[in-house]
Amino acid sequence: MNGGRDVASPVPLLIGMLAVALSIVIVIVTAVNGRASSVWFLTLPIIEPGLWWLSLIGYVLTPLVVIVAFGLNRIWQRDGLRDRSFTPKPGYSLALKWMVGAGFLLALWHIVNLATVVSDAWVNP
């Protein structure tokens, strides 16, 4: 409540921001501590096999948690529109849309890391 008026909740936005920030930290940690590995036509710093769980957490955070936050924001804002005193925050939705896009880009890094670790374990049991 804000002066008797309902305002859109910032909780989904904060969840999305936290998920993207943590995913970026995981990308940096895995890139800095990675070993050089050939992926298609690139040489990338891929995580050590024992650290696969970092990329799994990163993959869950982005895009999955960010998509859930986007959905919560959409549902809560639409439900709020039933109340005449509700103040929507379209900027929250726009920011979360951009975070979903960024989440998919970050997810690519996590997917490549996971796929490389799984394929190495499959080929070299």
12-49 confidence digits (pLDDT tens): 999 999 999 999 999 999 989 888 877 677 787 888 88
* pLDDT value of residue 34: 84
Q: Considering the domain boundaries, does residue 5 fall inside one?
A: no
Residue 6: inside a domain, yes or no?
A: no
The count of domains in the chain is 1
Question: 5: how many CB neighbours lie within 10 A of its CB?
Answer: 11
pLDDT attached to residue 2: 47
Indicate whether 124 belongs to any domain: no
In terms of phi and psi (left: phi > 0; alpha: psi -120 to 50; beta: otherwise), the region of 3 is left
Given this model, what pLDDT does residue 1 score?
Answer: 43
Residue 96 lies in a domain: yes
6 pLDDT band (50/70/90 cuts)? confident
Are 37 and 116 contacting, i.e. CB atoms less than 8 angstroms apart? Answer: yes
Domain presence at residue 123: no
Give the global pTM. Answer: 0.86
Residue 58 lies in a domain: yes
Inter-residue contact 103 to 20 (CB < 8 Å):
yes
56-91 confidence digits (pLDDT tens): 999 999 999 999 999 999 999 999 988 888 999 999
Domain membership of residue 55 (yes or no) is yes
Domain range for 85: 11-118
Closest CA to 103 of 76, 68, 75: 68
Task: Please say if the pLDDT value at position 4 is more than 70.
Answer: no
Does the residue 1 lie in any domain?
no
Token pair, residue 116, equals 């490389």
